[in-house]
Chains A and B, each alone.
Chain A
Amino acid sequence: MKEELEARLLAAHEGDDRFALIRLYTQAADIANDLDAECFFLTYAYIFALEMGAAEASGLHARLKAYGRED
């Protein structure tokens, strides 16, 4: 993960900004080098989207399910 993205993620956690966390973890997944790393970050994005009832949840779920990582 790029240092800048990591810093923004830490700041979002610090500020408990769930919508930023959804966006930033999705970005982290998008630039991940391998499938496990992508799914690791997608999971965070998906869980925060689920919690917030965010529209992104269905798309994130679909990505994880396509990889066999979610029901």
Chain B
Amino acid sequence: MNAPITDLSQVRNSVEQAHGLPNDHYIDPGVYAEEREALLFSQWAGLAVAADVPEPGDAVPLDFVGLPLLLLRDKDGDVRVFQNICRHRGMILVEQPRKIEGAIRCPYHSWCYSTKGKLVSTPHVGGPGHNTHAAIKRNDLGLIEVRSHVWRDVVWINVSGDAPAFEAAMAPIIERWKEFDLPIYHGGHDSRITLEVQTNWKLAVENYCESYHLPWVHPGLNSYSRLEDHYNIELPGAFSGQGTMFYRQLTNENGDKFPDFEEVGAKWNEQAEYIALYPNVLLGVHRDHAFAIILEPRGPEKTVEHIHLYYSVPDSDEGLRMRNAQLWKTVFEEDIFVVEGMQKGRHATQFDGGRFSPVMDSPTHCFHDWVAGKVETHRAKARAAE
């Protein structure tokens, strides 16, 4: 599919002069396919969370922008990601989430793979009852592993395989949040929220990383998290978001609170930060809980938001967890009409990408600049290859 060549020259201007991304970046299937390569496959993108496969042998098939993947915790407890296909006939190996008791057996001709991806048996490959053949070299035919890394429980993948090492690519955020480099515990089934939204995934990023909309869209936050308490966070080429200097801990009727992340430090007593790590992971940190949102693109105009809440201890109070999950669910649901409304607006033919508040919208502009830069690089490589 040939993508239309969109004009990105104005996107990369200074925030005072810039226009947002053209409509085609939100509605055109060709641009969506181009961005799949330029923005999602070439970077460290969020796929899932390690809590999705808590036990060795747990396997979950996933579709990542059309790429069939298998998320698996191997027998030694390491999280791995494979292309979910047999090396024989390309058959999908695992159709439903399940436990791999021993080996992954292809349901077609029963080639078997270990949970580490090694091809361990090829039944009848040399004829009935002959399970080897000189032409079939098992060492060369293991499952195709996708480069992956787990950080803050998010399973990050680099499909192209050529991004810098995760620790190098993410060094700025790892340094920024070094006080939070502590064990985190998924709150369990009551701490998972899934929202299907009729929007392009980038609009969810854009809405998340600015605080400008908070008093209008989330009036309930005004009572304890006012706009003037917020600050912008921007690192061009890597992430943007917002922080607040006033975080009030959740309490129940007895005045109980979640325990803090031990040793997180006084800096975070009333401070919290919400950062969009490009391309598709939205993270939030507080003294007593954190969250991760994986944006799953399902097409130019559809996104599934996978929201996970984390705590400092494995056995946090269930009632408080339920209350906290409801609080965040309400906030995130309040954003749906905004991202869906902007998506519908991208079909207005005269929309020119819009203009930014130089003060309040710079985190959004930072993201657009990153998108435009990556797309331009991708196009330049494609031209060079012609």
Residues of A within 8 A of B (CB): 36-40, 42-44, 46-47, 49-54, 57, 64, 69-71
Contacts and interface: CB of A to CB of B under 8 A. Distances in A.
B138 interface: yes
B128 to A, nearest CB: 5
Contacts of B124: 40, 43
Contact of A50 (B102, B128, B130, B132): B102
30 contacts: A36-B128, A36-B129, A38-B129, A39-B129, A40-B124, A42-B129, A43-B123, A43-B124, A43-B129, A43-B131, A46-B123, A47-B110, A47-B121, A50-B102, A50-B103, A50-B112, A50-B120, A51-B102, A51-B103, A51-B104, A51-B105, A52-B101, A52-B102, A53-B101, A57-B102, A69-B129, A70-B131, A70-B132, A71-B131, A71-B132
B129 A50 contact: no
Interface on chain B toward A: helix, strand, loop, or mixed SS? loop
A71 B138 contact: yes
Contacts of B132: 69-71
Contacts of B101: 51-53
A38 B129 CA distance: 8
Interface in B107-135: 110, 112, 120-121, 123-124, 128-132
Enumerate the 5 nearest inter-chain pairs by beta-carbon distance, A residue then B residue, closest first. A53-B102, A39-B129, A40-B129, A51-B105, A53-B101
Contacts of A42: 129
Given A46-B121, A57-B102, A51 B112 contact: yes
A64 B121 CA distance: 11
Interface residues of B, number: 17
Contacts of A54: 102
Contacts of A52: 101-102
Interface of B: 101-105, 110, 112, 120-121, 123-124, 128-132, 138
Nearest to A39: B129
B221 to A, nearest CB: 50
A53 B132 CA distance: 21
Given A49-B102, A70-B132, 16 more contacts: A40-B129, A43-B124, A44-B123, A46-B123, A47-B105, A50-B112, A51-B101, A51-B102, A51-B104, A53-B103, A57-B102, A64-B131, A69-B130, A69-B131, A71-B131, A71-B138
A10 B114 CA distance: 27
A23 B206 CA distance: 58
A39 B102 contact: no
Contacts of A40: 124, 128-129
Contacts of B120: 50
A55 B163 CA distance: 42
Contact of A47 (B123, B128, B130): B123
Nearest to A50: B103
B17 to A, nearest CB: 61
B20 to A, nearest CB: 52
A44 B101 CA distance: 17
Nearest to A40: B129
A54 B124 CA distance: 21
Contacts of B131: 43, 64, 69-71
A53 B103 CA distance: 7
Nearest to B114: A50
B105 A39 contact: no
A38 B112 CA distance: 20
A12 to B, nearest CB: 16
Name the residue in A42, A43, A50, A52 with the highest tally of chain B Cβ atoms < 10 Å from its Cβ: A50
A64 to B, nearest CB: 6
Nearest to B112: A50
A42 to B, nearest CB: 7
A1 to B, nearest CB: 14
